[in-house]
């Protein structure tokens, strides 16, 4: 009897893994068939100020973030860069938005970011000159502070940048806040 139960559980787990693995394929953004990708992430109740003090690399974040990966492969005639947006509803929450590009040997490189504060939205716009066809990218919503919040993430292709500068560009290279509205 115990052997049957263990076998049934093992088979069920194998079936679940094979189905969820098939559904987890990385989507391709082409600007024609797929112009928008969306995901919602639950941040729970957490404050990651101490985590940031020890310097967690956001590119490799798995515990304190949501990740929306995709392959950028524009179709013929598709135009425009990519707008990355994360929104939330509680002003006590704060997330930081990072955009990464996949490299060799499962490495990631940050190519854009936004660490604004005091708002409920962060955006990063990347022109086509900053992107390479066929490469994998990911939007990372880092839960700097979450008060049982759901963060809504979106990547859009073919829309103009609506981001207005908030600080001089030289300062933004360090502060990464020239991306907020």
Tens-place pLDDT, residues 39-94: 999 888 877 666 554 455 667 777 778 999 999 999 999 988 999 999 998 888 88
Half-sphere exposure of residue 78, counting CA atoms within 13 Å on the CB side? 20
Q: What are the boundaries of each domain within the chain?
A: 26-175
Q: Is the pLDDT of residue 115 over 70?
A: yes
Looking at residue 101, its pLDDT comes to 94
Which residue do the tokens 């060799």 mark? Answer: 104
For the ranges 4-13, 22-31, 135-144, the lowest mean pLDDT is seen at 4-13
Where on the phi/psi map is residue 59: left (φ > 0), alpha (ψ -120 to 50), or beta? Answer: alpha
Question: Which numeric CATH code is attached to 26-175?
Answer: 2.60.120.380
């Amino acid at each position: 009897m115990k052997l049957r139960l263990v076998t049934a559980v093992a088979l069920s787990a194998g079936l679940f893994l094979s189905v969820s693995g098939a559904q987890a394929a990385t989507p391709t953004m082409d600007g024609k068939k797929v112009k928008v990708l969306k995901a919602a992430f639950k941040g729970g109740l957490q404050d990651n100020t101490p985590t940031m003090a020890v310097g967690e690399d956001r590119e490799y974040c798995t515990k304190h973030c949501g990740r929306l990966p995709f392959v950028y492969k524009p179709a013929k005639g598709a135009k425009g860069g990519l707008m990355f947006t994360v929104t939330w509803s509680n002003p006590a929450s704060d997330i930081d938005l990072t955009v990464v590009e996949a490299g060799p040997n499962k490495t990631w490189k940050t190519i854009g970011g936004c660490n604004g504060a005091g708002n409920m939205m962060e955006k990063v716009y990347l022109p086509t000159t900053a992107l390479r066809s066929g490469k994998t990218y990911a939007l990372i919503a880092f839960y700097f502070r979450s008060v049982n919040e759901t963060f809504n993430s979106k990547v859009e292709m073919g829309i103009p940048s609506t981001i207005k500068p908030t600080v001089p560009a030289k300062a933004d290279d360090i502060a990464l806040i020239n991306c907020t509205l």
